[in-house]
Amino acid sequence: MAAKLQIGDLVWAKMKSFPAWPGKIVESNPDIKKPKNVKNQHFIFFFGSENFAWIPFETVYPYIGNKEKFLLTTRIPRGFKEAIDAIEDAIKNMPEEAMADYQQRMSRPDPVPEELNNSVESADSDSPDKPKRKKRSRESDRGTEDGTPKKTPRLKSKSPPDSSGKKVRPVKSLTPSEKILKRAKMTASSSPSQNIFSSFSAKKSPGKIRERKLPELRVSESDLSYDPSLGAPGMPLSSGSLASEAGGTPSQVKSVIPTPMRIGFLGLGIMGQGMVMNLLRSGHEVTVWNRTAQKCRDFVKAGALKGNSPCEVVQQCDITFCCVADTTAVKDIVFTTNTGVLHGITAGKCFVEMSTIDEETVQDVAEAIQARGGVYLEAPVVGSRVPALEGQLTILASGDRKLFDDCFSCFEAIGKKSLYLGSDPGAATRMKLIINMVMGTVVASLAEGMAMAEKVGLDLEDVAEVLSLGSLRCPAIIHKSQAILNQKYDPHFPLQHQQKDLRLALQLGDKVEQPLYIAAAANELYKKARRLGYGESDISAVFRAASN
Ligand code: NA7
């Protein structure tokens, strides 16, 4: 992309150890020493700091189209806001012809490598118990012989406090560049950083092909703890990247022919919300129920029907999905007298259990449903908040084959891949527990490594960088190390669910006498993190237990 940029273009230019900064490609200044490989570098004027520097092509991005990726919303360095204002002014004052040419060339922004994302720079903690870290003292403090924007990117300032002393995010209005981008791209896709209802149109009738644009692959600050198991928004779409398998480029579309069957959905937690959104978007008729009824409200506005109990949903629908917290929740929903799922099951009613629970409960539920003439499939999913929102889950299914086939359009809408693992209810659960056991141990090990690094005086930013350079460069390590670095633990995969899955995996190991030394140790760390109050935080908060 940077190669097609030219003099006069407005850009984000990223110097090592600095956040990407608004700039403009300008004619080189003879006073500033040229680097050796000048052919592959742009000479950049930095807004705000008004300095100049040679910046390699690969770290120069068009300004329009990449603002979401690089705009800092917290811990904004001094001068950054002024730089944004200056570049937005420059856009306003751009002659129409120049803008049209620029738009044409820039309307297809390249994905930005994760390590270049600006959120990487926001390493300070908001949490009171966060240990103070020494600041990086390398490139960022260098002089300006080569014209670096020395005054600006290293400086950190707090977000303005509101009257209660809490930090507030600045209210975002549409800037000129955003308006232009909107016009230029005309994308209707949603993204995890947007309100999940923002791209809903009125309820669609089933039976027609729905074309769905996949959301842009990108990382916003809130996605730093993105579930690593399923690819990463913003990761370069290089070969082997899980992201490329997951979603491809923003211009790709997913075609789903929604089943005319009536779909029920029980449970609007983190996972249920994303899945229901994608079912609705792809034109399915969905009836929802959630224990806390108010969570249904927005979905009803978006076209869903509302059931008053699990039983009522089952009675009104052909296939009912259930995705709730744990075994207790599933038992409550299925077996509660008069209002439970079982009460609504008659011959031919279909029930799909998506929660991650123990195998015994899976068997109990399956038998109870089948005993009433119902049809059972278990379909736990791999992935968390963002893949659920993006329709990029992996569905692991076992049980009734015909029901699996009947779920085709639903699985298409919510996932990138669905696997049928056999008729035995329990097979999918076993697979899911093993996958999550591996995930839990990997993240626990990362947490321990970073906790130790801190104790032996290493800079965690350096640790994260080194991890991202070697064979450990994978979405799990990259995203969770960034979450730890930035102390951002918003739940993408709640820690308490990870601990539950480890506990269930250990029980499964007991049954088959499989030693699970590492998983057992990791489980202890997650238990400690729960005791410290991080149960509802993201799994990356296991770092707090490791460093405590
Ligand atoms: P969340 O976001 O913790 O949401 C949990 C959901 O389960 C939410 O809808 C809860 O309803 C519901 N819940 C919890 N307990 C009960 C009981 N006793 N009865 C009925 N409903 C209940 O979980 P996720 O969406 O991240 O994960 C769901 C599953 O997928 C889980 O097994 C993961 O391991 C994988 P509420 O809104 O609190 O009333």
Say if residue 326 is exposed, middle or buried (CB neighbours under 10 Å; 0-12, 13-18, 19+): middle
Give residues with Cβ within 8 angstroms of 168, minimum separation 6: 159, 160, 161, 162
- Shortest-distance atom of ligand 1 to CA 328: 18
Mean per-residue pLDDT, 31-43: 80
Half-sphere exposure of 105 (CA within 13 A, CB side): 18
**Alpha carbon of 271 to ligand 1 centroid (Å):** 8
Q: Nearest Cα to 439, choosing from 328, 548, 356, 324?
A: 356
pLDDT at 328: 97
The C-alpha angle with vertex 335 and arms to 430 and 399, in degrees rounded to 5, equals: 35
Would the pLDDT of 193 be above 50?
Answer: no
Strand partners, 494: 538
- How many other CB atoms are found less than 10 A from the CB of residue 431? 18
Q: What 8-state DSSP symbol labels residue 73? A: -
Query: What integer is the mean pLDDT of 409-415?
Result: 97
Q: 497 to each of 47, 356, 521, how far by Cα in Å? A: 46, 9, 17
Ligand 1 centroid, distance to 128 Cα (angstroms): 29
For residue range 473-496, what is the model confidence (pLDDT) as tens digits? Answer: 998 899 999 999 999 999 999 999
In words, the CATH class of domain 10-125+189-245 is mainly beta
pLDDT for position 92: 85
Checking if the pLDDT of 238 tops 80, the result is no
Whole-angstrom Cα distance, residue 83 to residue 118? 15
* SS3 assignment, position 98: helix
Mean pLDDT of the region 265-272: 98
- Residue 460 is predicted with a pLDDT of 96
pLDDT for the residue 242: 23
Dump pLDDT digits (tens) for 360-407: 999 999 999 999 999 999 999 999 999 999 999 999 999 999 999 999
Q: How confident is the model at residue 217 (pLDDT cuts 50, 70, 90)?
A: very low
Structure tokens at 502: 């480890």
| Residue 359 pLDDT class (50, 70, 90 cuts) | very high
Mutation to probe ligand 1, out of 227, 270, 276, 324 (largest number of atoms < 8 A from CB): 324
Counting residues of the chain whose pLDDT is more than 90, the rounded percentage is: 54
The closest of 112, 102, 147, 118 to 20, measured between CA atoms, is 118
Q: Check residue 198 and give its pLDDT.
A: 56
Residue 226: is its pLDDT beyond 60?
no
- Nearest ligand 1 atom to the CA of 497 is 34
Active-site entry in 432, 480, 488, 500: 432
pLDDT of 282 > 50? The answer is yes
Residues framing ligand 1 (Cβ under 6 A): 267-272, 290-292, 295, 323-326, 328-329, 332-333, 355-356, 494, 497
Both tokens assigned to 360: 């015994």
Q: Which residues pair with 23 in a beta bridge?
A: 11, 46
**Equal CATH topology for 10-125+189-245 and 432-546:** no
Q: Are 42 and 13 in contact (CB under 8 A)?
A: yes
Q: What is the CB-side half-sphere exposure of residue 253 using CA atoms within 13 A? A: 12
Superfamily classification of domain 263-425:
NAD(P)-binding Rossmann-like Domain (3.40.50.720)
CA distance 123 to 170: 19
- β-partners of residue 25 are 44
User: Taking 90 as the threshold, does the pLDDT of residue 438 lie above it?
Assistant: yes
Q: How far is Cα 2 from Cα 40, in angstroms, rounded to an integer? A: 9
Cα 16 to Cα 134, 135, 148, 154, 479: the distances in Å are 18, 15, 10, 11, 19
329 Cα to the center of ligand 1, angstroms: 7
Tell me: pLDDT of 17 over 80.
no
Q: Give the mean pLDDT of the chain.
A: 78
- DSSP letter at 493? S
Predicted confidence band of residue 540 (pLDDT cuts 50, 70, 90): very high
Give how far Cα 115 sits from Cα of 297, 399, 451, 466, 473, Å. 38, 42, 21, 11, 11
Between 214-218, 313-317, 435-439, 490-494, the lowest mean confidence (pLDDT) is in 214-218
Check whether 70 has a pLDDT greater than 50.
yes
Confidence of residue 181 (pLDDT cuts 50, 70, 90): very low
Cα–Cα distance measured from residue 84 to residue 340, given in angstroms and rounded to the nearest whole number:
55
Instruction: Please give the residue that has the higher pLDDT: either 108 or 153.
Output: 108
Q: Once rounded to an integer, what is the mean pLDDT over residues 503-517?
A: 98
| Residue listed under structure tokens 């409200």 | 297
Q: What backbone torsions phi and psi does residue 39 show, to the nearest 5 degrees?
A: -60, -30
Q: What is the mean pLDDT of residues 486-510?
A: 97
Q: Which range among 70-74, 293-297, 354-358, 368-372 shows the weakest confidence by mean pLDDT?
A: 70-74
Determine phi and psi for 55, rounding to 5 degrees: -130, 130
Evaluate whether 53 touches 174 at the Cβ level (below 8 Å): no
Distance CA 392, CA 540 (A): 21
Among protein residues, the one whose CA lies closest to atom 7 of ligand 1:
324
Q: What are the backbone dihedrals phi and psi of residue 272, each rounded to the nearest 5 degrees, phi first? A: -60, -40
Domain ranges of the chain: 10-125+189-245, 263-425, 432-546
Q: What is the DSSP string of 153-192?
A: TT---PPPB-TTS-B-PPPPPPPHHHHHHHHHH------T
Q: How would residue 55 be classed by pLDDT, with cut points 50, 70 and 90?
A: confident
Nearest protein CA to atom 26 of ligand 1, as residue: 270
CATH domain 432-546 topology: N-(1-d-carboxylethyl)-l-norvaline Dehydrogenase; domain 2 (1.10.1040)
**Which numbered atom of ligand 1 lies nearest the CA of 354?**
30
> Which residue from 133, 76, 229 is spatially nearest to 485, judged by alpha carbons?
133
- Residue indicated by tokens 């789903």: 256
Cα 231 to Cα 223: distance, rounded to the nearest angstrom: 12
| Backbone dihedral region for residue 529 (phi beyond 0: left; psi -120 to 50: alpha; all else: beta) | alpha
pLDDT at 287: 98
Distance in angstroms (rounded) separating the CA atoms of residues 319 and 461: 48
Q: Which of 230, 266, 268, 271 to mutate to test the pocket of ligand 1 (most atoms within 8 A of CB)?
A: 271
Q: If you average pLDDT over residues 135-145, what whole number do you get?
A: 35
> What sign does the CA torsion over 90, 92, 96, 100 have?
positive
Clarify whether 331 is annotated catalytic.
no
